[in-house]
Amino acid sequence: MKKIKLAIKIFLSLALLWFVLKQIDLHRLLELLRRCDPWWLIIAFVLYNLSKIIASFRLNYYFKDLGLRLSEWQALRLYYVGMFYNLFLPGGVGGDGYKIYLLQKHHSPGYKPLVAATLLDRLSGLVALLFLAGMLFLFSSYAKLFSWLVWLDIVCLVALYPIFLFLHTKLFGRFTTYLWQTTLLGLGVQLLQLLSAYAIIQALPAQVPIVDFLTLFLISSVVAVLPLTIGGVGAREFTFLYGMKLLGLDPSSGIAFSFLFFLISALSSAIGIFFIHAPYKRSIREM
């Protein structure tokens, strides 16, 4: 069954990429990629990895509620190894599954609590992503294009975090000790990725409406979270293709941006290979 799911994801990724590339000017795309400013790309890479460092801190807070005492360096190594498994070995156990297995092996807090901690980590990031997407939408050209969505968007923005915090407390009461820390860190993670996306925009040799572009980036990130493709490949590009066309813009710059963002995330995930031989070491801080 896992092999079938992996085959379907690969097929969807390739099919979406093929469809997107058929819709754009490939010469224009290659020219945009060739003329990118490398210094802005380096800044984007640094900001993206800062977001992952903050994300590892957030996940470690959830682990602390389970009685696990990992150092921040331990948590960071484990996080990068998880990133590597998620992107480069999607058909196997997966990064989240590997972290759960390793922590259960060394600490035995139980699989269900570890799954709950990992799920909350993902939900915290998703809520922050939806919040920022809703905020930027209000100031984008999409708000004028879909004016009927504006008031619904405002209502959702007002209700989003109260609903999340209420459900968090009611359904995951064990993980409330560091509730505000994890919530704020979740927002910080997405803000850093938004800054990383801004740096990629600056690297592109094309003038684009920045707020519209960043709004589309956040929407594409939500789409990429859906477990339909490999690492969001294809889904993000497809979103940019139609999002740019809705505004009457050349989608080539959006596809170039999407490729560069994936390259940065892939290079960042590849860092995990340096920790695969020893993703976890015991510390004197452990209980």
pLDDT of residue 286: 42
Sequence-separated (6 or more) residues with CB below 8 Å from residue 142 = 212, 215, 246, 247
Cα-trace Rg, the chain: 20
| pLDDT of 131 over the 90 cut | yes
Instruction: Give the model's pLDDT for residue 68.
Output: 87
106 pLDDT more than 60: yes
DSSP 230-271: STTTTHHHHHHHHHHHHTT--HHHHHHHHHHHHHHHHHHHHG
Percent of the chain exceeding pLDDT 70 equals 94
Q: How would DSSP label each residue in 114-167?
A: HHHHHHHHHHHHHHHHHHHHHHHHHTSHHHHHTGGGHHHHHHHHHHHHHHHHHH
Q: What is the pLDDT of residues 142-156, one digit of tens each?
A: 999 999 999 999 999
> Whole-angstrom Cα distance, residue 92 to residue 101?
13
- pTM assigned to the model: 0.91
Tens digits of residue pLDDT in 229-285: 777 788 889 999 999 999 888 899 999 999 999 999 999 999 988 887 766 555 434
Q: What is the pLDDT of residue 283?
A: 45
Whether the CB-CB separation of 102 and 280 falls below 8 Å is answered with: yes
Contact 52, 268 (CB under 8 A): yes
